[in-house]
Amino acid sequence: MHARDAEALVRPLLWIGFDGKIPPPEAARLVHQGVSGVILFARNVGTPDETRALNRELKAIAPGPLLLSVDQEGGRVARLTEGFERFPSLRELSTLSAPEVRAIGTRLGAQVRGAGFDIDLAPVVDVDSNPDNPVIGERSFSRDPEVVATLGAAMIEGLEREVAACAKHFPGHGDTDKDSHYDLPRLSHGLERLHACELKPFRAAIAARVSCVMTTHVVFEALDRGTPATMSAPAINLLRRELGFGGVCVSDCLEMKAISEHFGCGNAAVRAIAAGVDALLVSHTVDAQHEVIEALAAAVMDHTISEGRVREARTRLERLARLHARAV
């Protein structure tokens, strides 16, 4: 296989981001060449009309279905704000019933779909078990795994009436005292504790037919000593085989420092795809995006990653696009 063919094979495994309200030429070129997804942030969007126009432009550039995603969780993590309804944080919803949360999820999903997106990278189903956690907090429904499981499943059922939902951050970022945007958290919990706490909401999310699950850049020593879940075959096997998830497994952004400063984006991308991840978020720089494509292509050419593994990931992404990618 030639390098050009290998790059074409692996490019759909990438979901990219960019700066600004107009796609720069480098991002437009990657979309035209076949990356399967784009993630937008507050830096990209404006009013509902402006956001729809950008999403329409991105879909027009793409050679086929393009999956557009956004982190619209509610509370402090809300990218759509100008002229959009404000939704409360998940913690603020914790006293509501499951039907009430499901209805809010449907309304949130309609907002995201109405702005031209196909995927809401929500909800957080981490259990907020560590009061010193710098990144989860009110983004979680509760410190009680049963509450998180019940209300997380309800939110997913509501969202999935309108868009694809994404349960995050597998296997759980709730008990860390470090933020993986800036450092590499490690947890020494045994498997019994993981099943009793962290994994309960993910089981419920899968039972609720969530479309996507996002991995976390946290090392779980009981699963894979020294290796973050995003790059860990034991962690992904737990998700696939034991929990029975058959949808798209997407990484958290590979440019977060837990990955980029400890492993490098290209190396991490190869290890993540080999482990069983289907889509890689590279949300910021074109250099990192090309580094990932080139590293994956080289790994296919030297058989570090099999063509079968790439095609398996592409099949899941194509199924997600058939179900959820729509014209704006």
The one-letter amino acid code at 18 reads F
Is 169 designated active site? no
Is 183 designated active site? no
Integer Cα distance of 15 and 253 in angstroms: 9
The single residue of 144, 181, 195, 262 carrying the catalytic annotation is 181
Give me the sign of the Cα torsion angle 187, 202, 318, 23.
negative
Bridge partners (DSSP) listed for residue 176: none
The single residue of 252, 278, 284, 324 carrying the catalytic annotation is 252
Tell me how long the chain is.
Answer: 328
CB 116 within 8 A of CB 56: yes
Alpha helices in the chain (DSSP H): 3-10, 25-33, 48-61, 98-114, 145-159, 191-196, 199-207, 233-237, 257-260, 265-275, 286-301, 307-324
Burial class (CB in 10 A: 0-12, 13-18, 19+), 327: exposed
- Residues labelled catalytic: 181, 252
